[in-house]
Homo-oligomer: A and B are copies of this chain.
Amino acid sequence: MALTERTLLGPGPSNPYPEATAGLAAPLLGHLDPEFIAVLERTCDHLRSAWGTANPVTLPLSGTGSIGMEAAFANTVRPGDVVVVAVNGLFGVRMCEVAARYGAEVVRVDHPWGDPVDTERVLAAHPSPALVAAVHAETSTGARSDIAGLGAALREHSPQSLLLADCVTSLGGIEVAVDEWGVDIAYSGTQKCLGVAPGLAPFTFSERAWERRVEIPPVWYLDLGLLGGYVRGGPSGRAYHHTAPVAMVASLDAALARLHEEGLDAVQERHQAAGRRLQDGLQEMGLELFAAEGHRLPQLTSVRVPEGVDSAKVREQLLTEYGIEIGAGVGDYAASVWRIGLMGHNARLDRAELILAALRRVLGR
């Protein structure tokens, strides 16, 4: 039953930090154990630092990254609400679908895949939407959008609109500053730059989003009113909602402690340096990067498959001969783009050199 060891350089999961793996295998605590409550509180505090927020409602939701998106819309959208969604990749498309399930009147602003979100076009789509949603780091394309700029412009354009940012692939890898940027709702996943296995969705919700939240959202499991009672306590103490995934939380706690020890700035510089080396090396090899120049994520690089090369065959060869996983493209780009992640524990120069060397061999360059 022993599993093969892989170097996970796709769009996630990435190889966890050793501390995160140790946290998973640590002795299990009950979800109401005072020691576990301390672990959870420390995790939430460390998440607040990582998000750059003072939001009391900041917690890891009990599901993979997508549950963060679900919770975001379930707790904010009432039937008929206008929700403007910036779409520049798969996760923008998905936000439209999820928002629509909660009855939103979705105004979709499409961009070419690989481009960043265009603030002016997004704001021009509606004078006063209930919610504006955009993806900070598009996992499907490797493009980075300027959420700070979108937030600032939105405050001018329509101060009462809430701003939602998908930070699944950004948190723990590049700067995220929820409070400074004016983001009201944000979610992430543990399996990308945070360097933990998939299974939790770090989530943060501003006070003004809290005041305007849906009182009884359709989804009981993601009802922030009930979850908030577990995380913040309430008049009658800490209310049991559901059994927390204690091993996953212990793992996230261990990874966040490590990130804070290394320093969030140092972690971001490490992602930056590894990504730059990879992108330089790919271009030196004569390959063409996919995401728009100036808007490329260091932690996730999209690169065009060279003419005449069988995309899937290369990925298979990397996997079977080198034990390295990289990702295919998405949608129209499934066969013409690769996605290479250097996230979390893999955001290192040696991993960049490894995938460059392996690709050189496989492509004969």
A interface list, Cβ under 8 A from B: 1-6, 8, 10, 12-13, 15-16, 21-22, 24-31, 33, 35, 39, 62-67, 69-70, 74, 94, 97-98, 101-102, 189, 191, 197-199, 216-221, 241-248, 250, 253-254, 257, 319, 325
Contacts and interface: CB of A to CB of B under 8 A. Distances in A.
A66 B219 contact: no
A137 to B, nearest CB: 15
5 contacts: A5-B27, A8-B28, A66-B220, A101-B218, A191-B243
Contact of A6 (B28, B69, B241): B28
B220 A35 contact: no
A3 B24 contact: no
Contact of A65 (B22, B243, B246, B325): B243
Given A98-B220, A243-B191, A257-B1, A62 B30 contact: no
B254 A1 contact: yes
A245 B199 contact: yes
Nearest to A63: B63
Contact of A97 (B4, B31, B220): B220
A126 to B, nearest CB: 23
A64 B244 contact: yes
A157 to B, nearest CB: 29
Nearest to A36: B3
Contacts of A27: 3-6
B35 A3 contact: yes
**Complex copy number for this chain:** 2
A3 B30 contact: no
Contact of A221 (B3, B70, B243, B245): B70
Nearest to A8: B30
Given A62-B199, A221-B63, A221-B67, A189 B243 contact: yes
A268 to B, nearest CB: 23
A352 to B, nearest CB: 19
A101 B245 contact: no
B63 A325 contact: no
Contacts of A66: 220-221, 241-243
A33 B12 CA distance: 12
For the complex of A and B, the 4 pairs showing the least CB-CB separation, nearest first, are A197-B247, A199-B245, A25-B25, A66-B242
B35 A247 contact: no
A139 to B, nearest CB: 10
Contact of A26 (B3, B218, B219): B3
Contacts of A22: 25
A10 B174 CA distance: 41
A30 B325 contact: yes
A33 B243 contact: no
A134 to B, nearest CB: 18
A323 to B, nearest CB: 10
Contacts of A65: 242-243
A73 B14 CA distance: 34
B246 A13 contact: yes
Contacts of A35: 3-4
